[in-house]
Copies of this chain bind each other. A is one copy, B any other.
């Protein structure tokens, strides 16, 4: 059987092999990118789902508009308003998780050979998703304050990309938060180079202390001409439930209408059953308490992991303590002859019954073999301390 040539652009993920080992009994895993199932507001979602079927069974079970279920678009518009983004319900479309927003951006925007700038490192599924549409990915370097805007500007000027893809707030895997100053620079660059900026923001609500700076989309309202150059992807997956598969995309009208056409032929529309449930949940007023809860619990876990890493691995590792999101991004220093290759450490770690993800696959170009990603979301404090102690032993 001869498959489409676009499949030649992607490889089976190295991480996939690692994930097969996670079933080993007794393993403590920091490898996933999941929220903790124990945090789901099951009762609230059960009520929301029952209400959806009671109040408008036709709407929840019938075909719906490709753009999204109107009551959910209204709720999402209001939710975005609480985050400083002024968008009408018609200014966003509902997507089947924010993964589908990425897919639609690829389908709508990328012709084979087009260049797209991403962060180095960036979300693994973004790399593969865009490559399937034939994108040539250019990697812009990141530090603790997010993408380095000086270098980003050089890359934009040199490559004239179709768009720039950023996860500015608690990025996956970097955990980094793009500073307010750099956010403004990104907006200025969008206007200067007339370049579309895609802001992927699944983690922005997951902050542990102070709220992060406003999103690039929110800030665009203050930078004349920039709003029409920003696409913003949101998601309920990390804060409410990934299983609903509810994401959304805000984008300039012309892009939004073409992405909607592409979505029509991708899955017709996102499950109206899930959409009506999400709409009822947002309407119920339970979201603020749910957010407060996940922020508190993940915040405690992040602190515990930071302290354990310092205690158990000392100068063999460097990292920036994340103020939100789900991840530590760390780098092996190789101090005192310790292991400096994260994929080597990953194998030794599995033998000690602890798992994490090496960082190399998260780079579209020039992988840094010393990097690794640790999720603090799914293990409790006790398991985190035990797991990091095992990691120290493996090292």
Contact = CB atoms under 8 A, between A and B. Distances in A.
Nearest to A270: B245
A323 interface: no
Contact of A1 (B97, B102, B255): B255
Interface stretch (A50-58, A175-183, A296-304, A336-344): A50-58
A2 to B, nearest CB: 8
B46 A61 contact: no
Interface in A256-292: 258, 261-262, 264-274, 276-277
Contacts of A10: 261, 265
> Which of A1, A35, A58 has the largest count of B CB atoms less than 10 A from its CB?
A1
A163 to B, nearest CB: 10
A196 B1 contact: yes
A40 B63 CA distance: 12
A239 interface: no
A260 to B, nearest CB: 11
A123 B55 CA distance: 33
B62 A111 contact: no
Interface stretch (A125-133, A211-219, A360-368): A125-133
Copies of this chain, whole number: 2
Interface string A338-352: 000000000000000
A87 interface: no
Contact of A241 (B40, B61, B97, B262): B61
A46 B40 contact: no
Nearest to A242: B63
A79 to B, nearest CB: 19
A243 B40 contact: no
A12 interface: yes
A125 B264 contact: yes
A7 interface: yes
A128 B265 contact: yes
Given A61-B40, A96-B96, A109-B4, A268 B245 contact: yes
A37 B57 contact: yes
Contact of A243 (B4, B64, B267): B64
A103 interface: yes
Nearest to A269: B245
B264 A244 contact: no
Given A6-B107, A111-B4, A61 B49 contact: no
B1 A267 contact: no
B274 A111 contact: no
Interface in A317-345: none
A41 to B, nearest CB: 9
A58 B242 CA distance: 10
A108 B61 contact: no
B129 A265 contact: yes
10 contacts: A1-B255, A37-B57, A46-B54, A49-B53, A63-B242, A97-B268, A99-B267, A103-B265, A241-B273, A245-B269
Interface of A: 1-7, 10, 12, 34-35, 37, 40, 42, 45-46, 49-50, 53-54, 57-64, 95-97, 99-100, 102-103, 107-111, 114, 125, 128-129, 132-133, 162, 196, 237, 241-245, 252, 254-255, 258, 261-262, 264-274, 276-277
6 A-B pairs with least C-beta separation: A243-B272, A37-B58, A129-B265, A61-B241, A96-B267, A61-B243
